[in-house]
Amino acid sequence: MELPSTPQVTRRCFVGGCAATALTTGTATADHQPCGKLPPGTVLAKKADVPLNGGVVVYFDDETSVVVAQPKKGTYTAFDAKCTHQGCMCSEVDNNLIICWCHDSRFSSVDGKRRSGPAKKPLPLIRTKVKGDDIVVA
């Protein structure tokens, strides 16, 4: 499957999209390869689009979404956006928490660790680097 050259960036997703993902895959599972489709150099976001103490969710396709956050000024982190609870897509970053609204799991935007909710495992880290004005897969 070919990835689009410019990902769609939003701060929130429609909860129905989470259900649609579960229906189209047959089951909602947390056992998946973290964003294995994204080769090194893939642009995840522009630095200017990632707010301090917040972040953006980048949707590449139905199975590949990434959360890009800025937990402190000039520090960018990225995680697979698929919640480790039942596979819904995390849809928001607020006050350094990555939020999955399907079942209200919350993860740290610093290290991806679970902070609350039914999820038990952290979000998988995606190694990144800054290249000019872009945050890219390392």
- How far apart, in whole angstroms, are the C-alpha atoms of residue 93 and residue 52? 10
66-86 pLDDT tens trace: 999 999 999 999 999 999 999
Mean pLDDT value across residues 30-52 = 81
pLDDT at position 70? 98
In a domain, 87, yes or no: yes
- Model confidence at 102, pLDDT cuts 50, 70, 90, reads very high
In a domain, 2, yes or no: no
Q: Assign residue 72 the CATH number of its domain.
A: 2.102.10.10
In a domain, 3, yes or no: no
In a domain, 94, yes or no: yes
pLDDT at position 36? 59
pLDDT at position 1? 43
Count the domains in the chain.
1
Of 82, 64, 68, 89, the C-alpha closest to 135 is 68
Whether the model pTM is above 0.85: no
Residue 15 sits in which domain range?
8-137
Partner residues linked to 125 by β-bridges: 79
* Residue bearing tokens 């939020």: 99
* Residue bearing tokens 């495992």: 121
In a domain, 67, yes or no: yes
In a domain, 72, yes or no: yes
In a domain, 85, yes or no: yes
- Residue 68's Cβ-count burial label (10 Å; 0-12, 13-18, 19+) is buried
Mean pLDDT value across residues 111-115 = 98
* pLDDT beyond 80 at 20: no
